[in-house]
Amino acid sequence: MTQMNMVQAITDALRLEMRRDPRVVVLGEDVGKVGGVFRVTQGLYDEFGEDRVIDTPLSEGGIIGAAIGMALYGLVPVPEIQFSDFIFPAYDQIVSELAKMRYRSGGEYVSKLVIRTPVGGGIRGGLYHSQSPESLFIHVSGLKVVCPSTPEDAKGLLLSAIRDPDPVLFFEPKRIYRASKGDVPEGDYTVPIGKARIAREGDDVTVLAWGAMLYEAMAAAEQASEQGVEAEIVDLRTLWPVDIDTIVESVKKTGRVVVVHEAPRTCGFGAELVSLVTERAFLHLEAPPVRVTGFDTPFPYTLEMDYLPLAHRILPALLETAKF
């Protein structure tokens, strides 16, 4: 085991897989000599050269379009979109081409690639550097969506994603890029896509969270414990396909569920999670499901900490749901 933050763990995964599989290439804005705006790809250019670590023009549609072409010809590209807020110029390439390639060709062609991009707020990035667009991609058939919360999971899930036969959106919560630290196994290992983990056990209320909000949920759970409420926290890790079995088992135990996410409330992934729980565990629910989310506004700059569903907003939801 080695102590790493999330940036180091992701870099380690990329380096490991590029050494293992010569088909893997990295491309994006400033990913080469600079090492990326967050330095996630630092050192890869020096080791693997400009043919496998490719600096691209500022054109998200071009980056993803080129990556799809590479994948169709047998490479395994890992394109980076510098911030998830900038992914929308590539949205048509992702939903109209990438997600549908296997289906439209009857399985003859696949686009095996991983799109890496930082997501979420908490770094005073304002409205163009703080969004969480996961629900827009979960809605699209043919895509897998991953969002790790710990360095160990970030490395293991990225290795799984690169080896997966389907296209994967790999969302990296930038607020905890360096704040989240932990033991990371050395060498090769994988964390399975589609499997959640119980981050904290409890009997009174189930909390579903991912990314940076996992830590806010954990902080709220510790405060709730002081008032006699024990929350069980499920770290989704993979958003789609979601591990509904683990979620339902937890809800059956607690009878209550609270969903926490940074994205706006309306049509956020929390709404789908509530629907899935209600369909599968309705008779076990002892309180209405609750969502603690961002607001239905553009992401604010000066009011960032009011917008984010931090622990002080999660705690009342836990207490009220547990006592319903």
> What are the pLDDT digits (tens) for 222-246?
999 999 999 999 999 999 999 999 9
Full-model pTM: 0.96
pLDDT digits 0-9 by tens, 26-35: 999 999 999 9
- What letter would DSSP give residue 303? T
Check: CB of residue 257 under 8 Å from CB of residue 277.
Answer: yes
Homologous superfamily of domain range 2-184? Thiamin diphosphate (ThDP)-binding fold, Pyr/PP domains (3.40.50.970)
Q: What is the pLDDT of residue 251?
A: 98
Residue 207 in this model has a pLDDT that exceeds 90: yes
- Average of per-residue pLDDT across 79-83: 97
Q: What is the pLDDT of residue 82?
A: 96
What percent of the chain is predicted at pLDDT more than 70?
Answer: 100
Q: Is 129 considered catalytic here? A: yes
Residue 110 in this model has a pLDDT that exceeds 90: no
Q: What is the pLDDT of residue 262?
A: 97
The whole-chain average pLDDT of the chain stands at 97
Q: What is the pLDDT of residue 10?
A: 98
- Average of per-residue pLDDT across 60-71: 97
Residue 133 in this model has a pLDDT that exceeds 90: yes
Domain covering 197-322 in this structure, CATH number: 3.40.50.920
pLDDT digits 0-9 by tens, 261-314: 999 999 999 999 999 999 999 999 999 999 999 999 999 999 999 999 999 999
Q: What are the residue ranges spanned by the domains of the chain?
A: 2-184, 197-322
Residue 97 in this model has a pLDDT that exceeds 90: yes
Q: Do domains 2-184 and 197-322 have the same CATH topology?
A: yes
Q: What is the pLDDT of residue 1?
A: 85
Q: How many helices (H) and strands (E) does the chain have?
A: 12, 14
Crossing angle for the helix pair 269-281 and 244-254, nearest 10 degrees? 60
pLDDT digits 0-9 by tens, 21-54: 999 999 999 999 999 999 999 999 999 999 999 9
Say how far apart CA 258 and CA 161 lie, in whole Å.
28
Q: What is the pLDDT of residue 229?
A: 98
Tokens of 291: 């969502």
pLDDT digits 0-9 by tens, 136-159: 999 999 999 999 999 999 999 999
Give Cα separations from 132 to 13, 54, 75, 149, 186 (angstroms): 23, 26, 29, 14, 30
Catalytic residue among 129, 139, 261, 312: 129
